[in-house]
Structures are given as C-alpha cells and as structure tokens.
A and B are shown apart, each in its own frame.
Chain A
Amino acid sequence: MNKDFIISWKAAGISLGLLLIIATALVKPLGVSSQFVVTDGIVAHQVAPQFAESNTYLSKYGEENNWGVGYGWMLVFGMVVGGGVTSILLRRRQPQADKGSMPELWKNTFGPSQTKRYLASFFGGVLLLFGARLAGGCTSGHMISGISQLALSSFIFGVITFGSAILMAKFLYRGRV
C-alpha cells in the first residue's frame, strides 16, 4: 500500500520531543529564527561594515572572531544537510501531493502562475521573520521549545500566532474549500 506519509505525526512528534530533550540536556533548546539575523549580520559585515556596526541589532553578529556562527547557526546548517540528504534518500516514499513548488491547494485556488506563488512565498517570508524577531522566537523557539519549558511568553505567542494564522488561512481560502 502506498502511504500518505513517510513517517506518521506520532513518530515525528515523539522523535522531535526526544531531540528537544537531548538538545536541552547537552546545550540548549531548539531555535531557528535568530539565525536569520546572524546570517544578515555576517553579510552586512562583509558588504557594509560601517552600517553593520552602527546598527544595534546587526552589530551583535558577524564580527571577525566567529562571525556569530555558534551552536544555533550550526543547528540550522545541519537542518539543510539533514533535510537535503533524507529528501534525496526518501523521495520515492514522499507522497506525490507534497512534492514540488506548486501545491495543489494553492494552484486550484489561485491559478497556475508561478510568479504569484513565489511572490506570496517571499512576502510571507518577510512577515515571518519580522514577526518572529519582534516576538523573540518562532515555531521552534517559542512553540516547541518555549511551551515545553512552560514559558509564559511562549504560551502567549502560541495562542496569538495560531489565531492569526487560522484567520488568515480562512480569509485566503474563504468559500473556496
């Protein structure tokens, strides 16, 4: 039988929880979004060092010694490698509906224009990181790691983020699904 998934949400959820415990025991919990600022900082220090130094946020990263590349940045770099390698090995088992850059649901509603999909993806990305840095974390740092630590900030983030995402999804697909 051809399954609709590679591993179930149960298997993924349990292994992600165990990974979080290992990370918290060895170094610190999982987090992704701050590494986008680190990457920007590294680039800014190369391209426009004076500007980078004058910016309170970017000046914290990208300096000569280690460029801000620490545990967190290596973790995100590992995600590229781990995700890339498993996707090459397991592509055959990935459900057809999850492959490619044009999701069926999007195509059926907003048409086959790739430009439209990529523009939405780009501006979605802008909002994601602007919001994540303002809130101090994202799905991994706040929701998975933060709620697991019973952090008040993360419960607030989780409720508001899911609320806003559900409203926006319902608005995008209103009367269409």
Chain B
Amino acid sequence: MATLIIGFLIGCAFGAILYMGGATSYRRILGTLLLKDMWIIKLMMTAIGVGSLGIYLLDMGGLANMSVKPAYLWGIAAGGAIFGIGWAVAGYCPGTCVVGSAEGKKDAIFTLLGALAGAFLFSLAFPFLESTLIQPANFGAVTLESLLGINGIYIALPFSIALLFLAFFVLKDRYD
C-alpha cells in the first residue's frame, strides 16, 4: 500500500515537472528534433547528469534499487527506430502524451489512444517478435559498470560532469 502511495506522489511530481518544464510542448519537442532549439535535449541531459551521479552515490551505500533493461540488440534497434518516427510525427512520447492529455490537449488524447492501440498490436505480435528480434543477440542486463569492470561511480562522475557541462555551457539556445 505504501508503495502505491509513493508511486502516486512521485507520479504527481513527475507530471508537474513535465508540464512546467515545457516537455509537453510540440514547439519545444520539434524544435529539438529539428535541431533549432535544444530545450528538450538540455532538460534530459541535466536530468540524466543529476540522476546518474545520485544513483551511483546511492549504489555505493547499497541503497539504489536498480532496474537495468536487457540489451537485445535487434529489438532495441528496431523498437527505437519505430519509436523515433512516432515521436516526431505525434510530437509526444508516452509520458508527455499522458500529461498533455491531462492538460486537455486533444492531439495528446489521440496520441494516448493510439498508444493504447499500439501496445495492443504489440501484444498480438509478441510471440513472433520474441523469437525473431528479442531472443537473439541478447546480452542481458549489462551496464557500463559491469562491461568495463570498474566501480560505476568512476564512470558516473565524469559522465555527469560532461553532460551538465554540455547542457549548461556548450549548447546554445535561442529561447533561453
């Protein structure tokens, strides 16, 4: 029960941040994908920069509940390519279409309905896709830490600094 309440509260904050940060804005998303305005990529780089350092600091204390997804090359490559097309066409991703719908944006509601249909289509195609794209070339839940065999904090620290430096000092922004 406590977990459900925590999930709900974290979700509330997540939704509020996405709305206030302009992540549900077609202008911002397409601006980034057209490489005219780097708003969304800088938001993501900052989140990952802060998140990565924090998670691996937690991990040093054994407090991080990691959830690393398996690296099955074909499925991830094909899925990512399909996802990218949908992202550019709709202007929303699964999370931002939920928040956009809550804002009352009708195009976001259509994306949400399409997403439910897409998830259903996937469940129909799953047995076929599992044997062709998901099972082969599956390297399991690999991280850079396990791959390089060094403590994750030594990767996360420079990685975070690099991302934050890129976001704050390198990428220019005409909306800033």
Contact = CB atoms under 8 A, between A and B. Distances in A.
B73 to A, nearest CB: 7
Given A21-B58, A146-B68, A172-B88, A87 B73 contact: no
Contacts of B110: 118-119, 121-122, 125
A75 B76 contact: no
Nearest to A60: B123
A40 B14 contact: no
A142 B119 CA distance: 17
Majority DSSP secondary structure for residues of B touching A: helix
B8 interface: yes
A146 B143 CA distance: 9
Majority DSSP secondary structure for residues of A touching B: helix
A7 B83 contact: no
Contacts of B48: 17, 143-144, 147-148
A55 B4 contact: no
A130 B75 contact: no
Chain B interface size, under 10 / 10 to 19 / 20 to 34 / 35 or more: 35 or more
B92 A124 contact: yes
Nearest to A52: B123
A27 B22 contact: no
A28 B7 CA distance: 9
Given A81-B102, A125-B110, A134-B133, A12 B91 contact: no
Contacts, number: 516
B91 A138 contact: no
B122 to A, nearest CB: 4
Contact of B81 (A11, A118, A141, A164): A164
B84 A162 contact: yes
Nearest to B38: A9
B3 to A, nearest CB: 5
A136 B8 contact: no
A13 B43 contact: yes
Interface in B128-176: 129-130, 133-134, 139, 141-145, 147, 152, 155-156, 159, 167-168, 173, 175-176
A160 B114 CA distance: 22
A124 B86 contact: yes
A-B pairs, 9 with minimum CB distance: A78-B11, A125-B114, A13-B46, A124-B90, A17-B50, A12-B21, A135-B79, A164-B84, A127-B86
Given A82-B14, A152-B147, 11 more contacts: A36-B115, A78-B11, A79-B18, A82-B19, A83-B99, A102-B107, A106-B91, A124-B86, A125-B114, A134-B129, A164-B81
7 contacts: A25-B65, A79-B18, A79-B102, A125-B110, A132-B83, A147-B52, A150-B56
